[in-house]
Amino acid sequence: MKKEYFTLTLLLIASYGIFILYEPFWMSIVVASLLAMSTHHIQMGFLQLTNNRFLASMLSTLLLGLLFFAPLGYFMFRLSVMLQHLDPVIMSMLEAKLRGWLAHLPPSLSRVEVKIEAALTKFDPETLTQHIIAYASQIGSFTMSFLSGTVFILIFYFIAHYYGRDIFEFFKRSAHFPQQESTLIIFEMRSSMSVVFYSILVTAVFEGALFGVAVGYMGYNGLLFGIMYGFASLIPVVGGVVMWLPFALFELALGHTENALFITLYTIIVISVIADTFIKPVIIKLINQRLIKPQEKINELIIFFAILAGLATFGFWGMIIGPAITVLFLTLMKITEAQSEEITH
């Protein structure tokens, strides 16, 4: 056996061993690496400010933890506590309210009335409350698991910023990857992931703040519900409906019809129409202009379906992984096309 083949065989065996060894951490490593690419501009800003890569990496990691992971952990913890203390009386009040509406429905909605009545006959407030409380304990367990995973993501995120360039250069030399192609891949990934990450983050914070101000004015925990709405807005198609609709129904169950009407109209008009339809594109455009050159703009429809597919396949972190895989595929297609043209000519 030639020496090169023997070395390659050992490398493949060692690579498989490395894959098995670090299998529990691969998701954290991938997510941390993609987040590091997404926030490359922040790292460069801190590096210029401090002129110290270690300190810049620490500041970037701290900022990510405060802006992204801390609100998410707070949201999951508060949601678990809130569901565990759910009062069965509220469910009974909601059932009574729905039956009161049924009594005043017009004859044209008789078919709907029959279906709602059939659903209410199976409605048991006590049983439903018990299921919700049991589900809340599962959310609490998931929160602890998620937060422990978050620690590893932040550790690998720091490593990606501090050692990322050295690691990439080492693998590039070892694999003899062409300089032009490797530079193009990294450049495209950084540019695209930056737009995706900042668009997601800014939109969630902006819309969550709008919702939090409204419910805070009504006397509720504006910080909690704002964070909840911000993360709900990340869900494609459905978006904030999963947040404001149950909230409006809850207010109706309590007999607060004016509050329910206010939060419904406010969310639809101010957040969904004005903020999401008119202000959000302006925000994304500003992010594109600040971070991305005109010739590198991404097709929003492709990114939308990439996020949707990522969420369906990988769960929460799919909103980062989905676009990354899509951008990598499109970049490799560009490289293949360019290489084919070179061969042709």
Local confidence band at 294 (pLDDT 50, 70, 90 cut-offs): very low
pLDDT tens column, 67-96: 777 777 776 676 666 666 666 666 666 666
Q: What is the mean pLDDT of residues 335-345?
A: 69
Which residue did the predictor score with more confidence, 324 or 142?
324
% of the chain with per-residue pLDDT over 70 = 66
Average pLDDT over the chain, rounded to whole? 76
Residue 60 pLDDT class (50, 70, 90 cuts): very high
Q: Of 180, 184, 203, nearest to 192 (Cα)?
A: 184
What pLDDT is recorded for position 26?
Answer: 85
pLDDT for the residue numbered 291: 58
Which of 61-75, 259-273, 293-307 has the highest average model confidence (pLDDT)? 259-273
121 band by pLDDT with thresholds 50, 70 and 90: low
Of 325, 323, 281, the closest CA to residue 302 belongs to 323
To the question of pTM greater than 0.95 for the whole model, the response is no
Most confident of 16-20, 74-78, 130-134, 280-284: 16-20
Structural contact between residues 274 and 210, judged by C-beta atoms closer than 8 angstroms: no
Please report the pLDDT score of residue 89 as a whole number: 66
Tokens encoding 198: 């900042």
pLDDT band at 130 (very low <50, low <70, confident <90, very high): low
Q: What's the distance, CA 96 to chain centroid?
A: 37
If one counts every other C-beta atom within 10 angstroms of the C-beta of residue 290, the result is 11
Q: What is the pLDDT of residues 158-217, one digit of tens each?
A: 999 898 888 877 777 776 666 676 777 777 777 777 777 777 778 888 888 899 898 888
SS (H, E, C) the chain: CCHHHHHHHHHHHHHHHHHHHCHHHHHHHHHHHHHHHHCHHHHHHHHHHHCCHHHHHHHHHHHHHHHHHHHHHHHHHHHHHHHHCCCHHHHHHHHHHHHHHHCCCCHHHHHHHHHHHHHHHCCCHHHHHHHHHHHHHHHHHHHHHHHHHHHHHHHHHHHHHHHHHHHHHHHHHHHCCCHHHHHHHHHHHHHHHHHHHHHHHHHHHHHHHHHHHHHHHCCCCHHHHHHHHHHHCCCCCCCCHHHHHHHHHHHHHCCCHHHHHHHHHHHHHHHHHHHHHHHHHHHHHHHHHHHCCHHHCCCHHHHHHHHHHHHHHHHHHHHHHHHHHHHHHHHHHHHHHHHHHHHHC
- Amino acid letter, residue 55: L
pLDDT at 143: 65
pLDDT of residue 218: 83
Q: Residue 187: what pLDDT?
A: 74
Give per-residue pLDDT as tens, 134-144.
665 666 666 67
pLDDT tier at 295, thresholds 50, 70, 90: very low
pLDDT at 17 over 70: yes
